[in-house]
A and B are shown apart, each in its own frame.
Chain A
């Protein structure tokens, strides 16, 4: 009999755990949509992001939630945490739940294709934010992203400015993700163009993979500094990589001497720009990406024609911007 009691107890615990999380969810719903008060819910939007460990995606999802609440939509946000198979399962769960629309930042631009096709067959519209789907057979209503190419050009401009037009530069890149590859390509293109001018002489000594990850970039940057002790600048394709590079420079006692250009505009990176550790970053606006994605969904259900692609321009953020930024301490 004692065994039976113990089972009952643990089952009770499980029920309490889940009961608790469900009421927590309801509280969020009520808190999230005060303006819609008595209005009915227009629909549920399922969102599966690349990862929630990068604040960039958290900002996308927060902005999307705020905009969704304004228009009477409910949001379910989950994250694939870089695992394409897990993301596929999350989308399948959305299909079973019968959501009105799906927003994805694919963990893999190609592997996401089959499950988007499933959504297509069910007639559920799919939108992508930040990272595009590259599977040609899958149909996506619209893609909202930063103008990564334009941002890459801006990054090159900042680097030339930081080095006064001359020096050796390394790139810490992310060779898998399309958006990061565009930045690298744009950076190289502008540097090559500018090098035609007689007063400009920038040599790109090479590209190393940091996979957009702070820790990996930290280790890679240490090796790069060993290999090229006369390096003048490093372009890192996102802020976590740039912060990894800064850590490596600090370790080597070269902080501030080797100019770093990042990409994204996360608060921690902005702080580093203010401290002069990063020279500048083309700043993305994840909030705008989230808001615009949700606006496109609203427009879609209003019956308006939706553009297949919406690019959000980046803006170069330098030290003087950081000094004037009220959000920084």
Chain B
């Protein structure tokens, strides 16, 4: 038990955070699918007289339209009259009510979805529409369930952190060798701008083909790989501290992104461009799938392969590693190259999700990425760390941000809390290490 805790203690933190946000975000849930429509029809039937008129009002979303259809079908099958189905905004609802009063159709009930029932257009019906008579407003019964635990939110959390988590794989490797890479945030911007600029200028803008867009994305990733390799060369061949090299590359990459894009966001991309970032496979967004696959690969590489062992060896004791025949320079070059490539991939995903490339992307991401790695239990002094720990660290950050948005903590407070939690997590880790 205590060995498990000390190995994956952060998993416990993640679970406690999740449990806490589940409790704090319990909220009225609006059931509005077809089943809910049939259920409301059954409830209405208990009080309606035959031939009574019902007006159905829903928002124009797929789910609410299914609700409205099921409700209408069930009511009509029961012999009631559906006066009108409004699928629109409150103004449409008002116009429908005015039509009903003008034509003096008898109306017994307005059937709403849980969301439209709250519209203030339905308050004081008697005063607003004197000709309407005695009309009841009915809505489906709501259930209580945490917003945090809704399936769509859990996917949402994973999707939101995918880019940072993917970058954190490379950062974990870099930090295990005892280095640091501050340029990854700017590389996101560079990759996004290079990719979208290539799509616009080379692949034919809005007419670009899928293959063309893939090649452009490869171009964006290659640009970042080149920057990463350059950092690696500076660190290995010239022995410049990684902090300085990557700080410089952070400025260079950001500047290049602004230069290439002229400071504008590049949005001349085809609609198909969003399929990488927002496409789904079996309900799971592509970005999340990509993240899972990359973590699986990285876990195997770090724990089962020679290069993985070399990376730990270099970070543990560089001199000992060299004497044991580890190709130290090539290993270090490799981790910066991988870090650059993954940052490039992150930039492509970001551009795809936002359907545009802009030099403002990725600001401060290096700090979130480093935070994820450190919270995940990787030591900044090198030699220790686990890839899956980093995934947990990234998820902790994602859960805190998402949870605070859900319970409505304002922006200023969010920063303070996020900082406090990162510090608490690392403090915990340090205490554990000192003891062990």
A residues neighboring B (CB under 8 Å): 1-4, 6-7, 10-11, 13-15, 17-18, 21-22, 24-25, 42-43, 52, 76-79, 81-85, 88-90, 92-94, 96-98, 100, 107-111, 113-114, 121-125, 135, 141, 175-176, 209, 298, 300-306
Q: Are A123 and B64 in contact (CB under 8 A)?
A: yes
The answer, among B16, B408, B435, for a CB contact under 8 Å with A25, is: B408
21 contacts between A and B (CB under 8 A): A1-B2, A77-B411, A78-B410, A78-B411, A78-B414, A85-B362, A88-B353, A89-B405, A93-B153, A94-B405, A100-B115, A107-B360, A109-B265, A110-B356, A111-B356, A111-B358, A123-B58, A123-B60, A123-B115, A301-B90, A303-B95
Is the C-beta of B100 less than 8 angstroms from some C-beta in chain A? no
- Name the CB-closest residue of A to B274: A114
Residue contact A301 to B9, C-beta cutoff 8 Å = no
Shortest beta-carbon distance from A93 to chain B in Å = 4
* Interface size of B as a range: 35 or more
User: Do A303 and B360 touch across chains, with their CB atoms under 8 A apart?
Assistant: no
Residue B101 at the A interface, CB < 8 A?
A: no
Determine whether the beta carbon of B411 is less than 8 Å from that of A96: no
Nearest residue (CB) in A for B60 is: A123
**Separation of A149 and B119 alpha carbons in the complex (Å):** 35
Besides A94-B405, A98-B27, A122-B61, 9 more A-B contacts (Cβ < 8 Å) are A3-B6, A7-B428, A13-B424, A15-B16, A22-B407, A84-B358, A97-B147, A111-B355, A298-B120
Q: Are B355 and A4 in contact (CB under 8 A)?
A: no
List the A side residues contacting B353 at CB < 8 Å: 85, 88, 114
Per the bound structure, the CA–CA distance linking A96 and B363 in Å amounts to 25
Give the contacting residue for B406; candidates A17, A93, A100; CB below 8 A. A93
What are the residues of chain A within 8 A of B356 when measuring CB–CB? 108, 110-111, 113
- Please state if A42 and B363 are interface contacts (CB–CB under 8 Å): no
Q: How far, in angstroms, from A300 to B88 measured CA to CA in the complex?
A: 12
Are A108's CB and B121's CB within 8 A?
Answer: no
Residues of B within 8 A of A111 (CB): 265, 267, 354-356, 358
User: Within the complex, what minimum Cβ distance (angstroms) separates B66 from chain A?
Assistant: 12
Q: Is the CB of B20 within 8 A of A18?
A: yes
Number of interchain pairs (Cβ within 8 Å): 185
Question: Are A79 and B411 in contact (CB-based, < 8 A)?
Answer: yes
A14 touching B263, Cβ below 8 Å: no
Contact B119 A303 (CB under 8 A): yes
Roughly how many angstroms separate A93 CA and B403 CA in the complex, as a whole number? Answer: 9
The answer on a CB contact under 8 Å between A11 and B12 is: yes
Cβ-defined contact, A175 with B160, below 8 A = no
Given known pairs A135-B267, A298-B120, the reply for A21 and B94 (CB within 8 Å) is no
Interchain CA distance A79-B405 in the complex, whole Å: 10
> Which chain B residues in 8-25 approach chain A with CB under 8 Å?
9, 12-13, 16-17, 20, 24
A109 and B16 alpha carbons, distance in the complex (Å)? 38
**Could you say which residues of chain A place their CB within 8 Å of the CB of B355?**
110-111, 113-114, 135
Q: Are B5 and A7 in contact (CB under 8 A)?
A: yes
Q: In the bound complex, how far is the Cα of B230 from the Cα of A205, in angstroms? A: 40
User: In the complex, which residues of chain B have a beta carbon less than 8 angstroms from the beta carbon of A305?
Assistant: 91
Residue of A nearest to B414 (CB): A78
Contacting pair A14 B424 (CB below 8 A): yes
Q: Which residue on chain B has the smallest CB distance to residue A80?
A: B411
B286: shortest Cβ distance to chain A, in Å?
A: 14
Say yes or no for B210: interface residue by CB 8 A criterion: no
B402 at the interface (CB under 8 A from A): yes
| Chain A residue contacts of B360, Cβ below 8 A | 82-84, 107-108, 176
- Max chain A C-beta neighbours (<10 A), residue from B5, B115, B410, B417: B410
- Nearest Cβ on chain A to B157's Cβ, whole angstroms: 9
Which A residues are CB-close (under 8 A) to B159? 92
- For residue A310, give the distance in angstroms from its CB to the closest CB of chain B: 16
How far is A82 from B13 in the complex, measured between Cα atoms in Å? 30
Residue pair A76, B428 in contact (C-beta under 8 Å): no
Name the contact of B147 in the complex, choosing from A89, A96, A122, A175 (C-beta under 8 A): A96
Contact assessment for B118 and A43 in the assembled complex, using a CB-CB cutoff below 8 Å: yes
Q: Which residues of B contact A10 (CB under 8 A)?
A: 13, 424, 427-428
> How far, in whole Å, are A25 and B406 apart by their CA atoms in the complex?
12
Q: What does the 1/0 interface line of B387-426 toward A look like (CB < 8 Å)?
A: 0000000000000011011111111111001001100100
Given A3-B432, A18-B20, A22-B24, does the pair A123, B264 have CB atoms closer than 8 Å?
no
Nearest neighbor of B64 in chain A, beta-carbon distance:
A123
B354 and A85 contacting across the interface, CB-CB below 8 Å: yes
Q: Do B90 and A302 have beta carbons less than 8 Å apart?
A: yes
Task: Give the Cβ gap from A92 to chain B, nearest Cβ, in Å.
Answer: 5
